[in-house]
Amino acid sequence: MQITVLTLFPEYFDSPMAASLLGKAVENERVGFRTVQIRDFAHDKHRTVDDTPFGGGSGMVMKPEPLVEALESVPPREGQVRILLTPRGERLTQPLVRELAESSELVFLCGRYEGFDERVTEWVDREISIGDFVLSGGEPAALMIIEAVARLVPGVMGNAESGVDESFGEGLLEYPQYTRPAEFRGRKVPDVLLSGHHAAVRRWRRQQSVVTTWRRRPDLLAQAALTPEDQYWIDEAAAAESGQSAGGRSFGIKD
């Protein structure tokens, strides 16, 4: 996959794109990475890229010419997706990350200042937000998407399985993980994980995923395919919180 970032701050990406998994992906040429300096497409000798907003108001707005010309400097190719980072965009989710991972090239357009001229949106394929908060520029948002997408590119992650079992894999948060020592400052690892009983471990992990998602992110449950046993665990957790016990058939797991 090729990644191209149009930005006023190319140096922002220097360390993150050289470190850890991303660094290796670039080194192994699973991911190609380059930046384009938007300011190189300014029209005046001061290399101006912003101006005051029509209609008044505080702050500056990025001018359309340098942004669109920077976009046009990237050769089009099949499977290319041009993305504008903006808090007004569609929310980034793991299904969207998986969709973007199928692209041949992601081109990120990073805005700065108070925003950009709205006409620029006609030159991109998607507008994406990484969450309901405002950053002072699109660079951290682009980096987050790159980080989430690159690990799904074939050959980037060492362990092929670790992309499947994780949080949001099935629309649920991930179960908790433990490693040695089995007891740390009086806190013990749940017995089931030491039992060597694979089916029991799988079941306990599913229960943990379901109940943690119910507790922390109930909004995700609407999209998840829940089994009757999953629903029992939720009812049981809800009953425990309200001081009652779950009725009906017992699926209970001790932890």
Task: List residues near ligand ADE by CB under 6 A.
Answer: 85-87, 129-131, 133-135, 138, 141
- Give the Cα separation of 228 and 251 in Å (integer): 10
Nearer to ligand ADE by Cβ, of 87 and 230: the residue is 87
Q: Shortest gap between Cβ of 222 and ligand ADE (angstroms)? A: 23
Q: Please state whether the peptide bond connecting residue 181 to the residue before it is cis, i.e. omega within 30 degrees of 0.
A: yes
Least distance in angstroms from the C-beta of 212 to ligand ADE: 25
User: Smaller CB distance to ligand ADE: residue 86 or 208?
Assistant: 86
Q: Extract the tokens encoding 74.
A: 């990237």
Q: In the complex, what is the shortest distance from the CB of residue 67 to ligand ADE, in angstroms, rounded to a whole number?
A: 14
CB 14 within 8 A of CB 26: no
Instruction: Give the whole-angstrom CA distance, residue 161 versus residue 89.
Output: 31
Nearer to ligand ADE, 76 or 131 (CB): 131
Q: Which two tokens stand for residue 222?
A: 């609407």
- Under 8 Å between Cβ of 148 and 142: no
> β-strands 50-51, 61-62: how paired?
antiparallel
Asked if 167 contacts 177 with a C-beta cutoff of 8 angstroms, the reply is no
Q: How far is the CB of 86 from ligand ADE (least distance, A)?
A: 5
What size, in residues, is the chain? 255
Provide the terminal-to-terminal Cα distance of the chain, rounded to the nearest Å.
43
Q: Do residues 2 and 150 lie in contact, with contact meaning Cβ atoms separated by under 8 Å?
A: no
Q: Of 7 and 129, which CB lies nearer to ligand ADE in the complex structure?
A: 129
**Minimum CB separation from ligand ADE for residue 206, in Å?**
33
Minimum CB distance to ligand ADE, residue 85 (Å)? 4
Of the pair 131, 218, the CB lying nearest ligand ADE is at: 131
- Alpha carbon 93 to chain centroid, angstroms: 6
Rounded least distance, CB 142 to ligand ADE, Å: 8
| Nearer to ligand ADE among residue 134 and residue 222 (C-beta) | 134
Name 51's bridge partners: 61
Give the residue with the Cβ less far from ligand ADE, 54 or 133. 133
Q: Six-digit token pair at 128?
A: 């994406």
